[in-house]
């Protein structure tokens, strides 16, 4: 019988890379999120006009093999959840991964616009926040400001 000795770091690697169901990965994700004003992700921003689009890139340096769900929760200045987005993906081997989420305010309806003379509701302005989760674990919280 042969005795095979595996270095502890190598053993840990094999344990982490093994099949992991959603939510089973407990290490801290090395991810960062950034706002951009353009679809090509060239111009960083944290402030935009109520008429503009905002792009949020979530980039993770190393994700292990397995299934993932990235959730974003977009909240207005009062902390009210206004929209939620979800991105599911599966990785066959450890690697970096990026996902992009688009945010755009919708104008109020035609009748409300005629009555108020405004294109948007008051809650659509101000300092907003986005909570970002991977497999239910909050990994980041970002803020941006919406102006006229």
Q: Which residues of 55-65 are buried (b: 16+ CB within 10 A; e: fewer)?
A: bbebebeebbb
Q: What is the pTM of this model?
A: 0.76
Structural contact between residues 138 and 124, judged by C-beta atoms closer than 8 angstroms:
no
What percent of the chain is predicted at pLDDT more than 90? 61
Mean pLDDT along residues 90-112? 87
Q: Give residue 10's pLDDT band: very low, low, confident or very high (50, 70, 90).
A: very low
Per DSSP, 44 falls in state B
Bridge-partner residues for 66, per DSSP? 91
């Amino acid at each position: 019988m042969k005795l095979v000795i595996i270095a502890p770091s190598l053993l840990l690697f094999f344990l982490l890379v093994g099949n992991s169901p959603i939510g089973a990965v407990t290490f801290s994700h090395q991810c960062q999120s950034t706002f951009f004003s353009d679809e090509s992700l060239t111009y960083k921003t944290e402030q935009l006009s109520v008429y503009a689009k905002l792009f949020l890139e979530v980039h993770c340096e190393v994700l292990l093999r397995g299934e993932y769900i990235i959730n974003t929760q977009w909240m207005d200045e009062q902390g009210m959840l206004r929209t939620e987005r979800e991105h599911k993906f599966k990785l066959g081997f450890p690697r970096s991964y990026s996902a992009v989420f688009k945010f755009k305010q919708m104008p109020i309806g035609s009748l409300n616009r005629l009555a108020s003379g405004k294109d948007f509701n008051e809650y659509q302005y101000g300092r907003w926040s986005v909570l970002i989760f991977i497999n239910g674990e909050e990994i980041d919280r970002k803020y941006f400001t919406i102006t006229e």
